Amino acid sequence: MGPGEIRRIERWLATARVFLATAALTAILIDPGEIHPSIWVSGLLSFYIGQSVVTLLLLRIRQESTLAFRLVVHGADILWPALISVFATGQANPFLLFFVFVLAAAAYRWGLWETVGTAAMTVLLLWIESLVFHFGLVNWVDRALAQSHLFPLQVDVTDFEPKRLFMRSISLLVLSFLLGYLAEQQKQLRAEKAVIARALGKARVETGMVGTLQEIAGELLSIYDTERLVIVSQEEINRRVFVGEVYRTAGAAAVFQWLEPAPSDRERYLYDSAVTTCYAWRNALEGSRFSALGVDQLGTTVKNPGLEFLNSLSQKHGFHSLMTVAFQFGREWHGRLFLFDPALTGDVEEELRFLQELVRQVGPAVYNVLLLRRLRLRAGAVERARFARELHDGAVQSLIAVEMQVDVLRRQSATKPELVITELGRIQALLREEVLKLRELMQQMKTLDVDSKKLMALLSDTVERFQRETGITARFSSEVEELDMPQQVCREVARIVQEALVNVRKHSHAGQVLVRLAAGNGSWNVTIEDDGRGFPFSGRLSHAELDALRKGPMVIKERVRLIEGELTIESNPGHGSRLEITVPRQKDAVHG
């Protein structure tokens, strides 16, 4: 556990200690039961409450809980129940809870053997007290207190008779085993979940399939303290086998490499077996023959599964022990993972079940990385095809037309010089138009790295560049001083404004454009307004109405839908149009 978690645990225990001591004092005041009324009992409990409050305050103030501090606090917790229990007898007194608390605290802090050790220390203190009572030391203290005119101790030594104390000791030891065992299993489960979560965190699309496999395999090598791992998979469609090896040396990171599969690798690695996970080891007492233990898909233990595959693997890799687990990626891939000479620290069956669970949870994440990489490649191919089509149908065709017109002008320049100036002006306008289209295309191809801190500056720069390149008067206005918009929404808003300005240049014949960013009523509002021709309808239409009538800019509608926003278009043919995009603050974009 890290320092932060240790500190939180100590705070929880300190709070429970204050509550326990206060509840015990309240219970004694309401119903003393078998507890002898004594100022010493009330004084000790009051002192313990004060000590508990001071411990809680120290944990609130201190930034770190040191080991020495925890041991001192735990030592006081061990001493306390042994001391206070001399003032009560029977099984119904509340002081028994102090014994349970100290054992639970040891289990919560550490584990099985620390809890048993705590119980042993408590039992030792109780037997020391029994010897003290046997030699009459308590009577001597009572006489001394009486001579000093002080209240006697009034202790009851009934529970410290050897027979009853023996039964109490056995109960404490059994309880310590129970609490320690449960705590140990809970911490084991937490540790396994942490390992699985750490392995899941290694599955990232950015690192690619090879990088993801290398990271996860490196984590497995670290968990099982081994240096070599082999991953073998087969694609169901074409039955092609892939073999990858991950190895590491001391102090170095894991290295992944693809191996050239041999014709016999399918039979060697992808053999049929009734078990999903298997551990095999050489038995020196049986002439170095292999023994094995397996777990099937349902987690049932299978002793001595088929060992035919081990001879072939042993000849190729030379190992003393082997752990293997099968995996399945959708309906497309299946395979096995082989760990050579792993160091197992627990029960073999539990280790096999843990590895099976780890692969079962991490497998879908790796498969998702594979699918997302495929989707990205396909999306990239589609995008490249679109840009190629745009270039071919736009710039290339226009340049061919310009080249033909220039050739005509060259031929007519001698006979019809008056046409040259007019045609050159038209060609210049055409070239300017194509330059703008190419710039817009390049702008769409660029990856936007924009967040809430950069958005307003990016929008202002976009509007200013639009005015500079087109000659259309454009202005950006923001009514927001501080923006807390999610990055995905920022990116889509920037794309929406760019697309709207492109449409203004291409279709509106506007003279003025206003882009405004505002916030209010739990939403962000983006408005693009121009004084051009407007849309081929009159009035104000909502997003749903635009979809029903199949009107409005398709790209902008899709981008607004992507960020779960609402688009409204107000059009006045011949006098301009107004686009309003409303994005709720409570909802983030589903995907960028």
Domain boundaries, the chain: 3-198, 205-374, 448-592
pLDDT at 98: 84
pLDDT at 448: 62
Asked if the model's pLDDT at residue 394 lies above 70, the reply is no
The residue among 247 and 94 whose pLDDT is bigger is 247
Domain 205-374 has CATH 3.30.70: no
Asked if the model's pLDDT at residue 163 lies above 80, the reply is yes
Asked if the model's pLDDT at residue 157 lies above 80, the reply is no
pLDDT at 590: 41
When mean pLDDT is compared across 386-400, 443-457, 540-554, the lowest value belongs to: 386-400
Residues shown for the chain: 592
pLDDT at 330: 76
The residue among 560 and 139 whose pLDDT is bigger is 560
* 205-374 and 448-592: identical CATH topology: no
Asked if the model's pLDDT at residue 23 lies above 70, the reply is yes
pLDDT tens across 302-343, in order? Answer: 887 777 778 888 888 888 889 999 988 877 888 999 999 998
When mean pLDDT is compared across 137-146, 421-430, 531-540, the lowest value belongs to: 137-146
Please check whether residue 426 is in contact with residue 409, taking contact to mean a CB–CB distance below 8 angstroms.
Answer: no
Structure tokens at 268: 């060697």
What is the chain's mean pLDDT, rounded? 82
Q: Give the residue-averaged pLDDT of 479-488.
A: 84
DSSP assignment of 177-241: HHHHHHHHHHHHHHHHHHHHHHHHHT--GGGHHHHHHHHHHHHHHHHTT-SEEEEEEEETTT--E
Q: Which ranges of 110-161 does DSSP label H, i.e. alpha helix?
A: 112-134, 137-147
Please check whether residue 246 is in contact with residue 254, taking contact to mean a CB–CB distance below 8 angstroms.
Answer: yes
Q: What is the maximum alpha-carbon separation in the chain?
A: 142
Q: Kindly list the distances between the CA atom of residue 200 and the CA atoms of 31, 159, 210, 211, 375, in Å, as whole numbers in the listed order.
A: 55, 55, 15, 13, 21
pLDDT at 588: 42
When mean pLDDT is compared across 6-10, 152-156, 501-505, 527-531, the lowest value belongs to: 152-156
Residue 294: which of 306, 282, 283, 305 has the closest Cα?
A: 305
DSSP assignment of 323-339: EEEEEEETTTEEEEEEE
Residue 274: which of 347, 311, 229, 326 has the closest Cα?
A: 326
Query: What number does CATH give the domain 448-592?
Result: 3.30.565.10
Q: At what angle do helices 208-223 and 162-201 cross, to 10 degrees?
A: 160
pLDDT at 531: 93
Please check whether residue 259 is in contact with residue 247, taking contact to mean a CB–CB distance below 8 angstroms.
Answer: no
pLDDT at 517: 93
| DSSP state, residue 537 | S
Residue 115: which of 126, 125, 105 has the closest Cα?
A: 105
- CB neighbourhood size of 105 (10 A): 26
pLDDT tens across 184-242, in order? Answer: 888 888 888 888 888 888 888 778 888 888 888 888 888 888 888 999 988 888 888 88
